[in-house]
Amino acid sequence: MQNSPAQNSAAHRLRLVSGPEGLSFILLLVGVVLKSTTSFNPVPVLGWVHGMLFIAYVAFLYLAWQKQRWDLKKVALLFVLSVLPTGGFFAERMLAKEEKGQLAVGTA
């Protein structure tokens, strides 16, 4: 089974990493609360995981910006969403809608 061009795009990779990046941010915030209120300290591991996902998000955002030729306003919005605790989920939804729109146009 062949992948469609949209599934190979930088925008698709950005969409795939945005959900886990958002979840890792929320888990990191929970870890900070646990560290402050209990003797359990998950911050070193959660911080590392979130950091790697954030770096991947920013790298894929840059690649998608170059490949898709998005305007600066859209790129700035996607970046701001990446630094908000639930923003990754909104970014994923926005990118999924765009991807479905592009697929619908391509298949019609």
71-82: pLDDT as tens digits: 999 999 999 999
Enter the pTM of the model: 0.83
Does 80 reside within a domain?
yes
Does 20 reside within a domain?
yes
Closest residue by Cα to residue 77 from 62, 91, 63: 91
Does 42 reside within a domain?
yes
pLDDT, residue 6, reads 53
Q: What Cα–Cα distance (Å) separates residue 56 from each residue in 4, 6, 15, 23, 49? A: 22, 19, 11, 14, 11
Does 17 reside within a domain?
yes
Does 44 reside within a domain?
yes
Residues in the chain predicted with pLDDT less than 50, given as ranges, are 1-3, 104-108
pLDDT, residue 108, reads 40
Does 45 reside within a domain?
yes
pLDDT, residue 76, reads 96
Give CA–CA dist 59/16, Å, rounded: 13
Q: Which domain holds residue 19?
A: 12-107
pLDDT, residue 10, reads 87
- Structural domain count, the chain: 1
Closest residue by Cα to residue 21 from 99, 68, 65, 81: 81
